[in-house]
Each structure stands twice: as C-alpha cells, then as structure tokens.
A = this chain, B = another copy of it.
Amino acid sequence: MAGIGLDIMGGDYAPQVVLEGCLQALPRLADDTQLYLFGPLDILEGFFHVSDRNAGDRIRMVHAPEVISMHAPPVKALQQKRNSSIRVGMKYLAAGEIDSLASAGHSGALMVAAMQILGTVEGIDRPCAVTAFPQKSNHAHLLLDVGINHEVKPDQLAQFAILGSIYSKLIYGIDNPRVGLLNIGSEPGKGNTLYQNAFRILESHKAINFIGNLEARDFYDGIADVSVCDGFTGNIFLKQAEGMYRLLKDKGVEHPFLDQFNYEKYGGTPILGLKRNVVLGHGASSSLAIENMVLTAEKLAQIELATNIENFTSKV
C-alpha cells in the first residue's frame, strides 16, 4: 500500500487543474494507493463537495493553509510559511506518513524544503532531476541533472551517473546501463574544464559503465541508457526539446512519435539522491500532466526508489 502526497497549491493553474488531474489519476492508481492532498481545507472541501466527486476513503485531505507563491525567495518563504503545502507535505514524507510527494509548485522552495527536511543519502552531495527522452531504442534515454544544480563539480557528475544507473535499472530493468557524458564532441578531451575533469573521473569509476562523451546530435541514437550533465545545460536541453515540440505542433506537424516529446505525458521529474521520493512537476502543468505526475510518484513508491538508492550508495 502506497501513500502519495500531492501539493494542490503548486502550479500555475492550481488548485483547480491540480485537483482535476488528481481525480483523473485516481482510476489509474493501484487499488490500495492512497492520495494525500496538501492544501487549505476550505478549498479541498469546496472542490469535493461542489463537484460531488468525493473519492471516499482513497483521498485524505491535509490542512496546509499557507501558499508559497511562484516567485518568492525560497528560504525566507519556507521560514515564514511553516504551514505551506510544500512544507507540510515534506514533513509527512520525512515522517513516513506518505511514500512520495509530488508538487508542480515553486521548484526552488521544494528543493530547499527537501534538503532541509529530508537531506541526501550517503555519498551524494546534491539531489538531481532526471528526465526520460524517447530515442531509437525501445526504452527511454535518461538525462540528469535537468535543472537543479546550475554549477556542479566534476565528481558530482559521477554521482549523477550512479543515481541515473540505479534508476535506469529499477525502471527499465537494464542491468549495466551505459553512461554517457553529454558534451560538445565525442572524443576524449572535449568540452570545458568541468567536462574534461568529469571525463577522467567517470572513466576510472568502477561502479559506472562509462561509454565516453556523447554529442547532443547522437543523444537519440540509442547508444547510451543514461547521460549526465550540469543542471544548466540539462535544463536548456530539456526545454529546447519542449520548445521544438511546441513549434512543430503549432506548425501542424502531427505524428504519434512526435507526441513522445509531449512533456505532459511524462508528468513530473523524479528527484534522485534524496532520502525519500520527491517528484517535481512542470509549473505550467495541465491536468494531464498532473495526472501523470501522480502516477510517477506512485511508481517511485512502488520501486522504492530512495531506499534502493540508499542501499546502493552506502556500499559504493
């Protein structure tokens, strides 16, 4: 039985669209999965009463009356709003009342709360965000970090490689995932100082099946299962795919494969390296994106992601 927490005040279209997405997710969740909704009780009660879509004993409402707005300075906002949906949800997660927490809210505040209340597992300095991209192979190509750490050290890229390898194994059953270093050339020695140093660390790391530098143009060719980069580069990479997808749709390009680039289908970015399972949603999440974010959060609980990562990293 899994308990999934959802911050109903997180996202540009919260709370309405978040609550709709949560209702859409419900029939797709396992029978014994419970949803914990964090937000002001009047909003929660109002929504379920007015819409007459009370989902009974599968939904628990947790009163969290304060809201952290999208552009607030995170550390200060968390200090001042101790009853915000993000902070209350994170407390439930830390206490083991729920197995994973999902939010499409203020990503900075979510990460600060996660670091303050949960912390990272042994051997991991910083958590990182992972996204799955379609490619020629049947399974997706994981890229991390896609946005949390804008400045990283070379050995942190090796930590991302370990996190990504564990996740690839748990999600896709890949035994010895091939790890690439996203770079501007495929030969050793390419890239700036950070990437040159990271290459050397990755190359000699026994727990990583390193295949070398991977150029962005070869990213979709099915030659790696996991790729690592700093969070600035990864975020640009991720959002460009989203931008290009949006442009092509806008210009009338229609094809089932193209829709694999629809971020709404991925619905949220798992955060790896924390002591508990956290999923970060897209700020502009639609109800479909929220629905899939909830399913991602359930998946992380089912595969016991954080526990598995902790077990592995404590042995490396």
Binding site for B on A (CB under 8 A): 71, 134-136, 147, 150-151, 182, 184, 187, 191-193, 195, 215-221, 229, 231-233, 235-244, 246-248, 250-253, 255, 257-258, 261
Contacts and interface: CB of A to CB of B under 8 A. Distances in A.
A195 B238 CA distance: 18
Given A184-B232, A191-B150, A243-B219, A258 B248 contact: yes
A147 B184 contact: yes
Copies of this chain held together in the complex: 2
A241 B235 CA distance: 14
Contacts of A252: 255, 257
A103 to B, nearest CB: 17
Given A150-B184, A216-B235, A237-B237, 15 more contacts: A71-B187, A147-B184, A184-B236, A216-B236, A216-B237, A216-B240, A216-B243, A217-B240, A217-B242, A221-B247, A241-B244, A248-B248, A251-B255, A253-B257, A255-B255
A301 to B, nearest CB: 29
Contact of A246 (B182, B217, B248): B217
Contacts of A221: 243, 247
Contacts of A231: 184
Contacts of A250: 136
